[in-house]
Chain A
Amino acid sequence: QQQVKQSPQSLIVQKGGISIINCAYENTAFDYFPWYQQFPGKGPALLIAIRPDVSEKKEGRFTISFNKSAKQFSLHIMDSQPGDSATYFCAARRSQGNLIFGKGTKLSVKP
């Protein structure tokens, strides 16, 4: 059973455009929702994160929108750049501490 569903699987965006990645979760006990960015051959790096008592969080060009009632959250990347081309993972934290990851979205930003 996949507890965190992520879409789309891949995304192509023009430079300067907005990239949007969506995630849905099932377990209402999740208490922390981070997004990670991963480049080939590297470990995931935290991009931005949100707690469920907040509906939106913005850091630079990256914004998380969180809808607790719908059990959905999304990542928006404004003014997407070729350097943003990477795989993005949403995740949800279990109360015991480990993260449950989505399957990832491969983002390609075309110049």
Chain B
Amino acid sequence: SQQGEEDPQALSIQEGENATMNCSYKTSINNLQWYRQNSGRGLVHLILIRSNEREKHSGRLRVTLDTSKKSSSLLITASRAADTASYFCATVTSGNTPLVFGKGTRLSVIA
């Protein structure tokens, strides 16, 4: 079953702008993860945020988590053409349960 739903489905921005993607989920989670997938490639883990955390940073990435609203956002600042990819959120409900992915946001950064 689909747990995460990303919004928007597609996003097109100019290089240098910020990109914000949102993820909503349905059930309680242990943690939420964001992944990037370049066209035709495998997934790259970007960042993990646990249910007791509200915000995390990694380089140009900022992730927030609001468990009361069951939502998360991924902000990419000062975007680059190389950031063009699909971005997926995935949730883990408990220690050994599998990742449940959303359908992703396709980000296009135009130089």
> Do A and B interact?
no
**Which A residues fall within an 8 A CB radius of B?**
none
Binding site for A on B (CB under 8 A): none
